[in-house]
Amino acid sequence: MLAYPREAWGGIWGRALTEKKTLYSNKSLNVPEGHIPIKNVLVVPIMFLTNVIGLLQVANKMTDYEEKDQKLLETIANHISPILNSRLQMAREEREFRQAEQALRDSEEQLRSITTSAKDAIVTADDHGKICFWNLAAEEIFGFSEAEAMNKNLLKLIFPEHFARENADRIEKFGLTGKQPHIGSTFELMSKRKNGETFPIELSLSAFKIKKKWHSLAMIRDITERYNTDQDLKKSREQARRLASHLQSISEKERLKIAREIHDELGQSLAALKMDLTLMSRELSEKKREIKLDSLLTEIQSMVFLVDTTIKQVRKIITELRPEILDSIGLIAALEWQSKDFQKSSGIECKFFSNVDELQMNKEYSIAIYRIFQEMLTNIIRHANATNVNVKCDKNDPGKFVLEVSDNGVGITNAKIDDLNSYGIMGMKERATILSGEVKIWGKTGSGTTVRLVIPLQE
């Protein structure tokens, strides 16, 4: 059967189609070159209900076509009509089926491509909670192959035992009603891998029906990295809060200490000096002629000694407030002086090594490094129970200054390094971070501790 555009219909065939009636001609027709000549023709439309479904044509009769020829051909067309219509219907249905089948294959291929390339796990489960779809990302995230996961209970397979037990009744209710508290929402919870490792996921749940039975669709994302970042941020904030509180406490203690030193040492020294001067003034007034030069000289020497002691006390307090030694002799020399002072005051042998003559740094950098070094030594006194300390200054790393302090004390554990109450460690790390540097600490119980400060050198 040939299909022609309606606008191309013409001649006797076109009229038969458009007018839906039998036509014949006993005259020769114009035909294309090479076509069999047509001397006469009879054309009958094949009708099914009110539609033309074909044409029945005969041509080149020896005699002219008559009405009896028309009736005979119409009778044949009427017998052919239901058979031809049925055949056409079958062909149309077959064509539509092939088109639907191809569309289904295309849709399945598209779905397969989407689910295979998806970074999130896509899992579906039936009304009993058994897995009926498991994509490649689900295999990578949970460690179960598709064959291992199919028809397994979703809750028991990828969630901790207590969670599966507590939510088992929800699966039964979902199968009956399609309702569940988390359907249509996205939330975070802990899941488990094939090896038993628990990890955080982000889960989005939705519901749909297949053959009148409820199914669940789970979109699952592994958020381990984001979770760890959040935990680190919370830990950092808590450390900062505790450190700020600790620094405030230290500040108040330092103020109290300075006030006591000024009162107890400077106050007493100045009071004693004032008393000596008052007594000397009285003696000079009352015994102008009986003054002995030796006695007066002794008293003056005592007062000079008292003044010298007071000056030393003032310098000590000033040094604690701000190390002027950095301005006078430089950072490296100041670190070496502090090492010697540490050995003198603590009785712990302290060896100082330096491959650096001096560094050109602004005051903020020098003070920060000096304070971190003081904290290193203070921690040794408080916690290490050491008998030997080595201090090394180096700048072998390109563009970096390295200060390393090691001892032979009791050592340190990772738990202690990460302890939120280790304010000294937090303080050192915070100072180093401000200078774009870092403090690393390692050690082993009974084998001492090493603290390394690495600071980028200023250009």
Residues 25, 93, single domain; the answer is yes
**How high is the pLDDT of residue 343?**
92
Report pLDDT digits (tens) over 197-213.
999 999 888 888 888 88
Give dist(CA 6, CA 17) in Å, integer: 9
Q: pLDDT tens for residues 284-307?
A: 666 555 556 666 667 777 777 777
Whether residue 176 is predicted with pLDDT greater than 70 in this model: the reply is yes
**Placement of tokens 């090594």 in the chain:** 353
Give the residue-averaged pLDDT of 352-363.
82
Chain segment 308-319, per-residue pLDDT in tens: 777 777 666 666
Q: State how far the alpha carbon of 280 is from the alpha carbons of 274, 360, 363, in Å.
A: 10, 52, 46
> pLDDT higher for 44 or 114?
44
Average pLDDT over residues 367-381: 90
Q: Is 337 helix (H, G, I), strand (E, B) or coil?
A: helix
Q: Within a domain: residue 431?
A: yes
Based on the fold, state whether residues 169 and 243 are members of the same structural domain: no
Tokens of 373: 């070094």
Tell me the sheet residues that pair with 38. Answer: 29
Percent of the chain with pLDDT over 90: 17
The phi and psi torsions of 13 (rounded to 5 degrees) equal: -70, -40
pLDDT higher than 70, residue 349: yes
Q: What is the mean pLDDT of the chain?
A: 81
Flag whether 11 is in a domain.
yes
The rounded distance, in Å, linking the Cα atoms of 46 and 53 is 6
Q: What is the CATH number of the domain that holds 33?
A: 3.30.450.40
Pairing of strands 449-456, 400-407: antiparallel
**Beta-sheet pairing, 349-354 with 388-394:** parallel
Q: Are residues 329 and 453 in the same domain?
A: yes
pLDDT value, residue 1: 35
Containing 41, the helix (H) or strand (E) segment is strand 41-48
Q: What are phi and psi of 114, to 5 degrees?
A: -65, -50
Pairwise CA distance, residues 429 & 335, whole Å: 19
Q: In what order do the strands lie in the sheet with 41-48?
A: 23-25, 41-48, 51-59
Give per-residue pLDDT as tens, 58-89: 888 888 888 888 889 889 988 888 888 888 88
> Considering the domain boundaries, does residue 1 fall inside one?
no
Question: Which 3-state string (H, E, C) describes 248-260?
Answer: HHHHHHHHHHHHH
Domain boundary among 50, 82, 109: 109
Phi-psi region of 156 (alpha: psi -120 to 50; beta: other; left: phi over 0): alpha
CATH of the domain at 389: 3.30.565.10
- The pLDDT score that the predictor gives to residue 267 is 62
User: β-strands 198-210, 23-25: how paired?
Assistant: unpaired
Residues 84 and 39 placed together within one structural domain of the fold: yes
DSSP annotation of 262 = I
> Coil, strand, or helix at residue 126?
coil
| Boundaries of domain holding 408 | 323-459
Q: Tell which wins on pLDDT, 151 or 293.
A: 151
List pLDDT tens digits, range 6-40: 444 457 878 888 888 888 888 887 777 887 888 88
In a domain, 282, yes or no: yes
Residue 9: what pLDDT?
45
Q: Which residues pair with 389 in a beta bridge?
A: 350, 407
Average pLDDT score over residue span 402-414: 91
Calculate mean pLDDT across residues 247-275: 64
